[in-house]
Amino acid sequence: MAFFLETLIGGLMAGMLYSLVALGFVLIFKASGVFNFAQGAMVLFAALAMARFSEWIPGWLGVANPIIANILAFIIAALIMFVVAWLIERLVLRHLVNQEGATLLMATLGIAYFLEGVGQTIFGSDIYKIDVGMPKDPVLMLESVFEGGILINKEDFYAALIAAALVAALALFFQKTGTGRALRAVADDHQAAQSIGIPLNRIWVIVWCVAGIVALVAGIIWGSKLGVQFSLATVALRALPVVILGGLTSVPGAIVGGLIIGVGEKLSEVYLGPLVGGGIEIWFAYMLALVFLLFRPQGLFGEKIIDRV
């Protein structure tokens, strides 16, 4: 029982981190109808900027305190992500207004390759460290209830808390602010939103900026766990089944989808993996998402699309 609980909790915490990356997809899709394949590359790019500036700043400015260095690096990395967002809108999206979804998807695919290449050219392709003081050692809980207790990874726990806080803040932003409502209006219909005076270009810059910040936070958390290197870009692939399952237009969907995928893949690897030779968690996540799609093609929380024939 203790082991089952450990696996379950581990899955929930991993799922929360998947939700964070999935949120980047959802944000941009909600606001612009673009399936942003570059979200993983943005995570890598932001994490590289954060890692390298936190390394360079003490030497440049003589700042010995790592907290100050990290804060300065965060601000610079956030500014860089704003510039990236502005450039994407200016150079790519502005020219593709009202184009087919597939065209926009291909454009983001190009952005992904560009960011991966440029990121590694500017910041290097080695493994870099982000140290934001996350505890690395585990803690044992409920030792009096279960023999040997339940082991909780403190780093995963804090990461899940940060992810949850960010997700909650974004949910509020979408539901309760004027900009959030404008974002949703743009997502529903570009032309209708424009006709009532919503500035499409500004909205797109805003949403890509927000997605950039989400990517930065995800990059810091994943980078702190795994080290900052190219594989961070593949983290986005972990979030794809989450958005398939949760629905592309739903923030709660990203959260619930993340938790289901996180728990599903861990339980499957631990309990089913040994029966089939192991290493199944990656494809199992996709399979789980596909099974859900059989029953709800729009995802758990996605909007049902009804077109007039």
Write out the residues near another protein by the rule CB under 8 A.
Answer: 3, 6-7, 10-11, 14, 117, 120, 125-129, 136-138, 151, 153, 155-156, 225-227, 229-231, 234-235, 238, 265-266, 269-270, 273-274, 277-279, 281-282
Q: Is 100 exposed, middle or buried (0-12, 13-18, 19+ CB in 10 A)?
A: exposed
Give the residue with the Cβ less far from another protein, 78 or 220: 220
Structure tokens at 35: 């399936």
Please, what is the minimum distance in Å from the beta carbon of residue 144 to another protein? 19
Give the residue with the Cβ less far from another protein, 9 or 182: 9
Structural contact between residues 73 and 132, judged by C-beta atoms closer than 8 angstroms:
no
Which residue is it, tokens 């909780």? 152
Please, what is the minimum distance in Å from the beta carbon of residue 19 to another protein? 15
Please, what is the minimum distance in Å from the beta carbon of residue 141 to another protein? 13
**How is residue 279 annotated by DSSP?**
-
Give the residue with the Cβ less far from another protein, 18 or 74: 18
Return all residues near 217 (Cβ < 8 A) that are at least 6 apart. 20, 162, 163, 166
Residue 176 parent element (H or E) = helix 154-176
Please, what is the minimum distance in Å from the beta carbon of residue 23 to another protein? 19
Give the residue with the Cβ less far from another protein, 137 or 307: 137
Give the residue with the Cβ less far from another protein, 30 or 266: 266
Q: C-alpha 240: how far from its chain's center?
A: 10
Please, what is the minimum distance in Å from the beta carbon of residue 271 to another protein? 10
Give the residue with the Cβ less far from another protein, 136 or 202: 136
Which residue is it, tokens 């942003």? 36
Give the residue with the Cβ less far from another protein, 207 or 245: 245
Please, what is the minimum distance in Å from the beta carbon of residue 88 to another protein? 22
**How is residue 94 annotated by DSSP?**
G
Please, what is the minimum distance in Å from the beta carbon of residue 182 to another protein? 37
Alpha carbons 86 and 75: distance in angstroms, whole number: 17
Return all residues near 20 (Cβ < 8 A) that are at least 6 apart. 163, 166, 167, 214, 217, 218, 221, 258
Alpha carbons 264 and 31: distance in angstroms, whole number: 29
